[in-house]
């Protein structure tokens, strides 16, 4: 029988729910992903179905910004192997638990921040919307700090170095403004990928990363020849990338996952 001292050290990690996407241990106080799973039993189904179009049973998939696994875990059922990267150490604990609960034997996880070099990264760990956690923004706007988040130092790595020699058919990225820095650290992976799905939000480029649309595109243009913007249905060739995304930027129009293809 546990001693009284041992009992006082126990704490509730989260609640476990069965959803359309699998079983998930989650923080019930989180107001975005957790709230959606608790109230509707699903989160991000459109993103999952979109990503599934670009992989099959023999594909290898890289998810950068896996959060608690709501996209990575169901997507892993449609591919051979999936690597999941999550920078937030608190969120990563839930990701590891959820991979285990769902018997994700073909999922490998890493608790690092995708970056342009191997160096520590200051990381803002939001609580109300933990999926909005991000590297320290260049501009410390209220929208990034309204819930008084903790700031942690997490290991930053080049994904080409973390995953040497590995090839991925699909790269799915949702990292809240760190995209440009991640791209700089993964040219080999990008060169080998058939498809890249990445969030495009103007305020992330300007206020978090402090980069232009041209800079955002600079690590990508050599590797991809076609762009699709699902929110508008717009398709473009390489020569049109900058014009299409610059217009979106100027109009403050974002998209949860623009698609680059070979």
How many domains, in total, are found in the chain?
Answer: 1
> Pseudo-torsion of CA 243, 245, 251, 257, nearest 10°?
160
Q: What are the tens digits of pLDDT across the range 141-160?
A: 999 999 999 999 999 999 99
In the chain, what is the straight-line distance between the N-terminal and C-terminal CA atoms, in Å?
60
Query: How many Cα atoms are found within 13 Å in the side-chain-facing hemisphere of 147?
Result: 16
Give the domain extent around 167. 15-261
Q: What are the tens digits of pLDDT across the range 28-63?
A: 999 999 999 999 999 999 999 999 999 999 999 999
Look at residue 53 and tell me if it is in a domain. Answer: yes
d(CA 185, CA 177): 15
Look at residue 146 and tell me if it is in a domain. Answer: yes
Look at residue 153 and tell me if it is in a domain. Answer: yes
d(CA 74, CA 22): 7
Look at residue 10 and tell me if it is in a domain. Answer: no
Look at residue 6 and tell me if it is in a domain. Answer: no
Could you give the 3-state DSSP secondary structure of residue 50?
helix
Look at residue 87 and tell me if it is in a domain. Answer: yes
β-pairing, 234-237 vs 226-229, is antiparallel
d(CA 123, CA 103): 29
Look at residue 222 and tell me if it is in a domain. Answer: yes
| Interval 203-232 mean pLDDT | 97
- What pLDDT does 9 receive? 76
CATH of the domain at 241: 3.40.50.150
With pLDDT > 70 as the criterion, what percentage of the chain qualifies?
Answer: 97
Give the residue among 205, 197, 191 at the shortest CA–CA distance from 170.
Answer: 197
Look at residue 2 and tell me if it is in a domain. Answer: no
């Amino acid at each position: 029988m546990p001693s009284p001292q041992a009992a006082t050290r126990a704490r509730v990690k989260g609640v476990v729910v069965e959803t359309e996407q699998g079983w998930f241990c989650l923080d019930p106080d989180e107001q975005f992903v957790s709230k959606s799973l608790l109230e509707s039993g699903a989160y991000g189904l459109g993103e999952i179905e979109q990503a599934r179009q670009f992989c099959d049973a023999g594909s290898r998939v890289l998810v950068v910004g896996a959060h608690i696994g709501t996209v990575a875990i169901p997507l892993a059922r449609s591919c051979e192997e999936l690597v999941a990267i999550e920078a937030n150490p608190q969120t990563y604990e839930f990701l590891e638990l959820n991979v285990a609960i769902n018997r994700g034997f073909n999922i490998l996880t890493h608790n690092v921040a995708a970056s342009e070099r191997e160096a520590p990264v200051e990381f803002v760990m939001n609580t109300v919307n933990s999926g909005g956690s991000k590297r320290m923004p260049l501009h410390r706007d209220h929208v990034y700090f309204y819930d008084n988040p903790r700031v942690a130092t997490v290991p930053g790595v080049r994904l080409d170095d973390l995953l040497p020699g590995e090839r991925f058919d699909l790269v799915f990225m949702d990292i809240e403004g760190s995209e440009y820095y991640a791209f700089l650290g993964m040219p080999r992976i990008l060169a080998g990928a058939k498809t890249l799905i990445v969030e495009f939000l103007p305020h992330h480029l300007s206020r978090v990363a402090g980069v232009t649309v041209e800079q955002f595109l600079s690590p990508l243009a050599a590797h991809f020849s076609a762009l699709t913007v699902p929110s508008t249905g717009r398709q473009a060739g390489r020569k049109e990338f900058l014009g299409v995304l610059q217009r979106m930027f100027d109009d403050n129009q974002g998209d949860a996952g623009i698609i680059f293809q070979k």
